[in-house]
């Protein structure tokens, strides 16, 4: 959850930098009044970010390389696809009941229960969680290489 929180903060910074440039006061206003907690959902911020990135930072956006394995006969995952996936998985961690396998049996795993008309288990192994963290760090690393954020952080 910590890594995804940092990613959301980076997305906030990207959006604010696009509209406010190096103006720290306006950037803080943008984050506090529009992008802050309970004002704009992370999914909505991701949509805003995607629009800005493909319209104003297309070359940087297209240079993204996903850490997720490419599926056969499919294009590699895009930055937006990885971001949407990370947000969806974050929502599992934040909003589902959790159970863990601690009996020392097979490989340890965590089960989240989706409760909608029935209980649907969503399984995560340590490897799944590690891959998700790597995916989020990869997005953050690429995001922090954008010219928009580089320029805004040279104050």
Higher pLDDT among residues 109 and 63, named by residue: 63
Q: Does 142 have pLDDT greater than 70? A: yes
Give the model's confidence band at 105: pLDDT under 50 very low, under 70 low, under 90 confident, else very high.
low
d(CA 7, CA 1): 10
pTM over 0.95, yes/no: no
Rounded to the nearest 10°, the torsion over CA 10, 12, 14, 16 is -150
What mean pLDDT do residues 139-143 have?
A: 96
Q: Does 155 have pLDDT greater than 50? A: no
* Least confident stretch, 15-19, 61-65, 108-112, 130-134: 108-112
Q: How many helices (H) and strands (E) does the chain have?
A: 7, 3
Q: Extract the tokens encoding 16.
A: 């604010």
The Cα-based distances of 92 to 26, 86, 148 in angstroms read 34, 10, 31
């Amino acid at each position: 959850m910590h890594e995804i929180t940092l990613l959301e903060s980076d997305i906030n910074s990207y959006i604010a930098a696009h509209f406010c440039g190096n103006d720290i006061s306006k950037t803080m206003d943008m984050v506090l009044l529009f992008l802050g907690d309970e004002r704009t959902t992370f999914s909505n911020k991701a949509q805003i970010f995607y629009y800005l990135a493909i319209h104003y930072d297309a070359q940087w956006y297209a240079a993204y390389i996903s850490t997720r394995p490419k599926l056969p006969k499919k294009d590699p995952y895009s930055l937006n696809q990885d971001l949407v996936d990370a947000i969806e998985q974050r929502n599992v961690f934040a909003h589902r009941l959790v159970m863990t396998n601690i009996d020392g049996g097979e490989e340890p795993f965590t089960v989240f229960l989706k409760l909608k008309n029935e209980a649907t288990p969503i399984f995560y192994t340590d490897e799944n969680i590690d891959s998700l963290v790597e995916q989020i760090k990869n997005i953050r690393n690429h995001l922090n290489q954008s010219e928009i954020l580089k320029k805004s952080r040279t104050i």
